[in-house]
């Protein structure tokens, strides 16, 4: 490779890196997930959604196999949670999911038809 070509390559690489840096540093407004996002995510994950009202109705006459799972961090759980819920802190990464599979299965128990509500 001759020198001008090399320089061109270097410039291209610098431009790419700068572009990426700009992208990484651009100001981002943290967005609240819309209801549509939540629905799409539920469809992808294969679970159903439940509203606070429905859950409250369910909660008043709880079926024997209802399990409420609080997926927030333990300090959030400690500062207040739905009465009767158990804490199972989750992180939204595949690595965490893969690692925590066994623990979650143990928490939910062997009954595959069990009613589990996550929040």
Give the residues lining the site for other proteins (CB under 8 A): 1, 3, 6, 9-10, 13-14, 17-18, 21-22, 25, 27, 30, 33, 35, 38, 42, 45-53, 55-56, 59, 70, 72-84, 90, 97, 100-101, 104-105, 108, 112-119
- Provide the minimum distance between the beta carbon of 25 and other proteins in the complex, in angstroms, as a whole number: 5
96 Cβ neighbours under 8 A, 6+ residues apart: 90
Question: How far is it, in rounded angstroms, from Cα 65 to Cα 17?
Answer: 54
How far apart CA 40 and CA 58 sit, in angstroms, is 24
Nearest CB to other proteins, comparing residues 61 and 100 = 100
Closest-CA residue to 75 (of 85, 89, 86): 89
The least CB distance from residue 119 to other proteins, in Å, is: 4
Phi and psi torsions of 38, nearest 5°:
-60, -40
Closest separation between CB of residue 48 and other proteins, Å?
5
Nearest distance, CB of residue 105 and other proteins, angstroms:
5
Residue with Cβ nearer other proteins (61 or 104) = 104
Q: How many CB atoms lie within 10 A of CB 94?
A: 8
C-alpha to C-alpha distance for 4 and 1, rounded to whole angstroms? 9
């Amino acid at each position: 490779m001759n020198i001008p070509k090399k320089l061109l390559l270097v410039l291209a690489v610098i431009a790419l890196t700068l572009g990426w840096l700009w992208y990484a540093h651009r100001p981002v407004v943290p967005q609240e997930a819309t209801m549509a996002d939540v629905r799409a995510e539920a469809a992808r994950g294969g679970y159903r959604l439940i509203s606070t009202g429905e859950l409250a109705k369910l909660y008043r006459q709880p079926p024997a196999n209802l399990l409420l799972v609080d997926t927030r961090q333990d300090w959030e759980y400690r500062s207040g949670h739905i009465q009767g819920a158990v804490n199972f802190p989750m992180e939204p990464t595949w690595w965490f999911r893969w690692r925590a599979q066994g623990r979650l299965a143990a928490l939910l128990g062997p009954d595959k038809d069990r009613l589990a509500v996550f929040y």
